[in-house]
Amino acid sequence: MSRQTQSTGDFDAVVVGAGFAGLYMLHRLRELGLSVRVFEVGSGIGGTWFWNRYPGARCDIESLEYSYQFSEELQQEWEWSERYATQPEILRYLEHVADRFDLRRDIELETRVLSAHFDEATARWAIETERGSVSARFCVLATGCLSSANMPRFPGIERFAGATYHTGRWPHEGVDFTGQRVGVIGTGSSAIQSIPMIAEQAAHLFVFQRTPSYSIPAHNAPLDPGYVRQIRSDYAGFRKQNSQRPFGANFPVSERAALEVDADERAREYEARWRRGGLGFMTAFNDLILDRAANDTAAEFVRDKIRAIVRDPAVAETLAPKQVLGCKRLCVDTGYYATFNRPNVTLVDVSDAPIEAILPGGLRTRRAAYELDCIVFATGFDAMTGAALAIDIRGTSGQALREKWAEGPRTYLGLGTAGFPNLFLITGPGSPSVLSNMVPSIEQHVEWIADCIAWLRERGLERIDATPAAEDAWVVHVNEVASLTLYPSCNSWYLGANVPGKPRVFMPYLGFPPYVEKCNEVAARDYEGFTIG
């Protein structure tokens, strides 16, 4: 749609966001015969994969799984080139999906949704965008889990003379670091993917590390045509099998506990997983995220790998993480640790000497000053709630979502929140979302929401709202499950701990298969836990 379009009109549904979630939601609702309008702030579709164009940006879930399964034709015809797809390839895929299913005509780009207010009298949402107002019976937030950039407020940043970049808002024309002194702040997944690439170009690269990350090699490679043929011969079967695994992805889960076997056997298993590469390292034993002693064995294995790769023992020690392995999302890399053997790369530990100020010509930590021509903020996201809470959302009696979630997000199944009728969240807090393969999780939510709307319409019903009791019970359950694990033991973005002032609440739900079963049961019991009218 052209930029000049004025958003006006009354729709059956408004969808906010045109990434993986928004595109499929549009397709599904249109199939039901609904009038739908999608609003997207970007100048193109793709959501997370539109914005994250930093060098080395790549998915950490394998291509054959990180893709839609709703259309057998689509999954048979699309050719992924590598084991892990790059950002440009994923974006090309989403562009293809938008064209193939004729989605673009209902998507309004460069249109930020400012507010969504529920009108009790009509049971409709009044939605205000930067370019006009619309109304809709249903409002679906497809705003993404990792879409709102986290930019620390370092004093002096506005006086920095060089260029600054955030990995999650990368310039479309790319950046040439040749001959530059570059500072990268952060060592999460985005930093770990981009640092080896930036190091190849930069005159000198300073990496400012607050917390080291565990990273497993990707062993990325072109996809083997024989393997692709094998998967395609029963793609549905492959998907079904994965949907029964705890993370909804093809990580072979061991039935053994780590301390059940001897040290040699453990080392063999870790070595095999390290050689295979990727996030499947986490399921080498069935208790790595449950038992500290078990986790220590895996953590020490990775620390030993770092010590073997990185030549300077002091640098290796600084790179060696101490927290629970997997507590912050595991990273998947290509040549990350080895990059610190390069003469043009310096690791700066800011854990005990934080960055105090950005200077016109660099930055200063509590210990020293560094001269920099440009700074890359690889500082992550206001995850899972940031994008939704950026919109002024008001439910019954004018209650603001920001107020309701002031102490942390509260949802029923991560799909709805009490007091906000006809508002659906896709992969909202309280659902497996980021602790699962996102695309199947998105599809499961989209289909659940579409089925729910169809069910209401068949009965001439206009309104659905989670009950406070069902929501309270779900929040307690999500926390109970998390408290059985080691996840709450570190300062991760799963807990909101990366954003100063954000309430510390574990947001995703652990366990894809039982979660899907619960959602299906709720639907089969005529949307148990919801008030319908």
Of the candidate residues 35, 71, 135, 211, the single one contacting ligand NA7 (CB under 6 A): 211
Considering beta carbons, is residue 190 or 385 the nearer one to ligand NA7? 190
Considering beta carbons, is residue 186 or 414 the nearer one to ligand NA7? 186
Which two three-digit tokens encode residue 449? 């929401």
Report if residue 378 touches ligand NA7, rule: CB under 6 A.
Answer: yes
Strand pairing report for 163-166 and 215-217 = unpaired
**What CA–CA distance (Å, rounded) separates 200 from 195?**
9
Which two three-digit tokens encode residue 131? 């370019």
Q: Smallest distance, Å, CB 250 to ligand NA7?
A: 17
Q: Which residue is nearest to ligand NA7 (CB)?
A: 188
Q: Smallest distance, Å, CB 493 to ligand NA7?
A: 5
Report if residue 194 touches ligand NA7, rule: CB under 6 A.
Answer: no
Q: Smallest distance, Å, CB 73 to ligand NA7?
A: 29
Write each residue from 167 to 186 as x if it is in contact with ligand NA7 (CB under 6 A), else as -, in one continuous string. Answer: x-----------------xx
HEC profile of 465-498: EECHHHHHHHHHHHHHHHHCCCHHHCCCHHHCCC
Alpha-carbon dihedral angle through residues 32, 523, 385, 215, given to the nearest 10 degrees = -100
Considering beta carbons, is residue 435 or 450 the nearer one to ligand NA7? 435
Considering beta carbons, is residue 399 or 491 the nearer one to ligand NA7? 491
Q: For residue 186, is it left (φ>0), alpha (ψ between -120 and 50) or beta?
A: left
CA distances (Å), 467 to each of 407, 463, 511, in order? 19, 12, 23
Report if residue 190 touches ligand NA7, rule: CB under 6 A.
Answer: yes
Contact present, 448 and 25 (Cβ < 8 Å):
no
Residue 143: CB partners within 8 Å, gap ≥ 6?
Answer: 16, 17, 387, 388, 391
Q: Smallest distance, Å, CB 54 to ligand NA7?
A: 9
Q: Smallest distance, Å, CB 262 to ligand NA7?
A: 33
- Provide the CA 296 distance to its chain's centre, in angstroms: 26
Considering beta carbons, is residue 353 or 484 the nearer one to ligand NA7? 353
Segment near ligand NA7 (CB under 6 A), from 158-166, 205-213, 235-243, 399-407? 205-213
Considering beta carbons, is residue 138 or 506 the nearer one to ligand NA7? 506
Return the H-helix or E-strand segment holding 127.
strand 124-129
Considering beta carbons, is residue 353 or 473 the nearer one to ligand NA7? 353
**What CA–CA distance (Å, rounded) separates 62 from 231?**
13
Considering beta carbons, is residue 49 or 493 the nearer one to ligand NA7? 493
Segment near ligand NA7 (CB under 6 A), from 31-39, 72-80, 366-374, 378-386? 378-386
**What CA–CA distance (Å, rounded) separates 508 from 225?**
35
Of the candidate residues 379, 431, 437, 441, the single one contacting ligand NA7 (CB under 6 A): 379
Site for ligand NA7, residues 55 to 114, rule: CB under 6 A: none
Contact present, 289 and 333 (Cβ < 8 Å):
no
Write each residue from 303 to 342 as x if it is in contact with ligand NA7 (CB under 6 A), else as -, in one continuous string. Answer: --------------------------x-------------
Segment near ligand NA7 (CB under 6 A), from 66-74, 94-102, 207-215, 260-268? 207-215
Site for ligand NA7, residues 133 to 152, rule: CB under 6 A: 146, 152
Considering beta carbons, is residue 49 or 125 the nearer one to ligand NA7? 49
Question: Hey, how many other C-beta atoms are within 10 angstroms of the C-beta on 153?
Answer: 6
Strand pairing report for 124-129 and 355-359 = unpaired
Report if residue 350 touches ligand NA7, rule: CB under 6 A.
Answer: yes
Report if residue 187 touches ligand NA7, rule: CB under 6 A.
Answer: yes
Of the candidate residues 285, 340, 493, 527, the single one contacting ligand NA7 (CB under 6 A): 493
Report if residue 417 touches ligand NA7, rule: CB under 6 A.
Answer: no
CA distances (Å), 186 to each of 278, 355, 384, 473, 493, in order? 21, 11, 19, 37, 13
Site for ligand NA7, residues 498 to 517, rule: CB under 6 A: 498
Site for ligand NA7, residues 258 to 297, rule: CB under 6 A: none
For CA atoms 45, 248, 320, 86, give the dihedral sign: negative
Residue 15: CB partners within 8 Å, gap ≥ 6?
Answer: 22, 25, 26, 29, 36, 37, 38, 39, 140, 142
Q: Smallest distance, Å, CB 222 to ligand NA7?
A: 23
Write each residue from 463 to 492 as x if it is in contact with ligand NA7 (CB under 6 A), else as -, in one continuous string. Answer: ----------------------------x-
Q: Smallest distance, Å, CB 193 to ligand NA7?
A: 8
Strand pairing report for 355-359 and 362-365 = antiparallel
494: nearest Cα among 441, 444, 433, 438: 433
Report if residue 210 touches ligand NA7, rule: CB under 6 A.
Answer: yes
Q: Smallest distance, Å, CB 190 to ligand NA7?
A: 3
Residue 174: CB partners within 8 Å, gap ≥ 6?
Answer: 53, 55
Report if residue 196 touches ligand NA7, rule: CB under 6 A.
Answer: no
Residues that bind ligand NA7 (CB under 6 A): 146, 152, 167, 185-191, 208, 210-211, 329, 350, 355, 378-381, 491, 493, 498
